Structure 1
Amino acid sequence: MLVFYILFLLFPFHSDVAATCPRKCNCDLSRRVQCYRVGQMPKEMASTTRKLYISHSKIKQLQISDVSQMSALEEFVLTSSGTESVERNTFKALAALRILELWKNKLRHIPTLLPANLEVLKLGDNLISVLNESDFKDLKKVRVLDIQNNLILALSSSTLSSLSSLQSLTLDGNNMESVSGPLNLLNLKYLSMANNKLQSFPGSFFTALHTLLFLNLNGNLLTKAPPDLPKSLLSLILERNQLKMLRSEDMKQLTNLSELCLSENQLSSIDGAQFLSSLTRLEVAGNKLQTIPLSLPATLQKMDCSNNLIEKVKAQEFQNLQNLKHLFLDKNVVKSFEDGALQRCPLLSNLALEQNLLTSIPLSLPHTLARLDLKGNNIQRIQEQEVNNLRQLQVLNLRNNKITALDHGLLKHLPRLRHLYLDGNPWNCTCDLFRTRRVLIAKGTDVKGGQCFAPAESKGENWMSSKRIVRLCIHDNLYSDEEGKEIRKKANADNPPILRVDMDDYYDYETD
């Protein structure tokens, strides 16, 4: 009986929604309306509509009459509809409106006299060129403002001064050339001005931002770090600029900083890292560093120094990094790697040394390594002392080296090996490799590559999959059936369940 009573209460409302739902729109019981490819603003909209989403339509102009009847409207999203203008006061009477998004249109101005209760305003991908203080008058509840990918060339500190509740400001992709300060947004936590043409910031610009946590200045023309950055910062992104040095005075107040991204600059040195006592992630790929930065904080967990000019790796550079888990030194010119240089990194799980000048695997690597990438070096031979400590290793990439043989006896030191990459080596496919093949199969290791270079009759074949090589070597009776069973049994005994290792997919071993 209760079910029938509920249906009785809901049925009239459902009928009302169905009766007033415009063509090419979907309406639901939560009073949400979604319209797609309409030629004009939908008419006969229910006055109880709370959320209206319109996309990929043809609505050149928004008028007061288009929304005036929707007094309950809380969220209005109009995207990719070619809208060029909004009639003055169109949204003023919508006292319930909290979210207004007009993405990917052709607006040249911010709509005037927006309702005072607005909390989210997103106007990305339009043609807005100027921001006026009057545009934001009385918008004291706006928490999120996104005006990315417009045509704004300059930002004045007074323009946004009325946005006293603003927490997130996005101004990416405006070709912005200048800003003036200070920026008096006392509740701002997120500020992104990426992909502009900013060459510098005035000294006072950031001084009032005491709550700022995230600052993204990626893709500008900065030659030095902005001055007087707030102590509250947790993340600072300065990638793809023209930084030539990082000075101690730029860093000394950033004791809360956890993430520092400086990739693709012109840095030859980094000073002041010792002040970053909370740093967990340092990205300095694509610079001109000849040595690994010294005096890095013990909190560091990930460091990316790839694509630099580093020749030597020394133990003193890692003596305090007991929390380091991920180290990327690929695409350098490393030819000298001090024995045991990483022994003071007892948590290291990922080590990338691809595209360097190494002639052997570095000795005394941490036993915690789960991934080791040595692709594109000059390694000719793998020796027992190089791998006898790597019992946790799950992924080993040896692509594009000069290795001709792989002793099956080495594999007993790698009980957890799951993925082995061998492409691009000049393998000498003797029956010794057949022994290695059988051990790898018994261990269940996924092997990629293994193309024979010699002898001539096997050239181009794969020693892991070639049936001909198997037939040639089978008469050697390398293992009896009983011995084969014993290999599998021992492989399982040496290979307990894999412990879950904290490994992010920082690089893809499946790609060349």
Structure 2
Amino acid sequence: MEGELFLLSSMIFLLPVVCGCPERCRCHSPSNSVDCSRQGLAEIPSDLPPQTLTLHLQDNQIHQLPTSAFKSVPQLTTLNLYNNSLSNLAPGVFHGLQHLRVLNLTQNSLHSLESRLFHSLPQLRELDLSSNNISHLPASLGEPWENLTVLAIQQNQLRQLDRALLESMPRMKHLFLKDNLWKCNCHLLSLKLWLETFVYKGGITDSV
């Protein structure tokens, strides 16, 4: 009996550690969301609840992300990294996020993105890369994105955009491109022709 009571008390003692919320974060159990925004964090908390679906990390000081940075939260569907001064993203940084649908990387300091950077995100629906310093996007950022419907790349330093990248997103509905450094050449003409077809089919875009 005493042994059973000891075991029970040990389990109760450990429960807050297993199901607890990271320090300086706020956890909401019904929605499985974790809000760590505006906390001056320099890295991702290591003790995030594994059942987390939505993770808010905006307005922190996270400058770099390691490979498989979010392996502890494999069920994640929404990730907000707005305004963190991220300058680059390591290959495989999003590895394991098979269920991620919304990724917000706006207002960082990204200059370029590796080819196939998002190849491990087959369910991605919304990608916001706006307000960075991106000067080049590769022809492929991953496998054909069958589910991507929103791409925001406005307010960057882009001079051209490979049409093959857009053609890898057959379900695109919203495309935001304005306030870049578009250079008038054959590449831009190809983009213009693609956009005309895109709008004709019901797609929504802003001005180039």
SS at match of 2:127: strand
Q: From the superposition, tell whether residues 336 and 382 of structure 1 become closer, same or farther in structure 2 (CA, over 3 Å).
A: closer
Residue 325 (structure 1) aligned to one of 69, 80, 101: 101
- Paired letter, 2:132: N
Q: From the superposition, tell whether residues 261 and 360 of structure 1 become closer, same or farther in structure 2 (CA, over 3 Å).
A: same
Q: How does 1:224-373 map to 2 (within 5 A)?
A: 231=19, 238=25, 258-273=32-47, 276-292=49-65, 294=69, 295-362=71-138, 363-366=140-143, 367=145, 368-373=147-152
Tell whether the 8 Å contact from 1:330 to 1:355 is kept in structure 2 after alignment: yes
- Paired letter, 2:36: L
The sequence identity of aligned pairs, in percent, is 18
Q: How does 1:111-130 map to 2 (within 5 A)?
A: none
Structure 2: any 5+ residue segments left out of the alignment? Answer: 1-11
Aligned length: 186
SS at match of 1:282: strand
> Which has the larger Rg?
1
SS at match of 2:55: strand
Tell whether the 8 Å contact from 1:236 to 1:259 is kept in structure 2 after alignment: no
Q: Tell me how far apart the structure 2 counterparts of residues 406 and 262 of structure 1 sit (CA, whole Å).
A: 43
Counterpart of 1:391?
Answer: 170
Tell whether the 8 Å contact from 2:24 to 2:39 is kept in structure 1 after alignment: no
Q: Tell me how far apart the structure 2 counterparts of residues 287 and 331 of structure 1 sit (CA, whole Å).
A: 12
- Paired letter, 1:372: L
The question of 1:377 aligning with 2:156 is answered yes
Tell whether the 8 Å contact from 1:292 to 1:305 is kept in structure 2 after alignment: no
CA drift at 1:373: 0.5
Tell whether the 8 Å contact from 2:149 to 2:174 is kept in structure 1 after alignment: yes
- Paired letter, 1:291: Q
Query: CA offsets, 1:47-88, max 9 Å, x none?
Result: xxxxxxxxxxxxxxxxxxxxxxxxxxxxxxxxxxxxxxxxxx
CA drift at 1:264: 1.0
How does the TM-score come out when normalised to structure 1?
A: 0.33
CA drift at 1:232: 7.2
SS at match of 1:318: coil
Greater relative contact order (Cα < 8 A, sep 6+):
2
- Paired letter, 2:190: D
Query: CA offsets, 1:67-126, max 9 Å, x none?
Result: xxxxxxxxxxxxxxxxxxxxxxxxxxxxxxxxxxxxxxxxxxxxxxxxxxxxxxxxxxxx
Q: From the superposition, tell whether residues 375 and 284 of structure 1 become closer, same or farther in structure 2 (CA, over 3 Å).
A: same
- Paired letter, 1:374: I
CA drift at 1:440: 5.4
Structure 1: any 5+ residue segments left out of the alignment? Answer: 1-206, 211-227, 240-250, 412-435, 451-512
Counterpart of 2:190?
Answer: 407
Q: Tell me how far apart the structure 2 counterparts of residues 281 and 394 of structure 1 sit (CA, whole Å).
A: 23
Q: Tell me how far apart the structure 2 counterparts of residues 410 and 389 of structure 1 sit (CA, whole Å).
A: 16
CA drift at 1:375: 1.1
CA drift at 1:315: 3.0
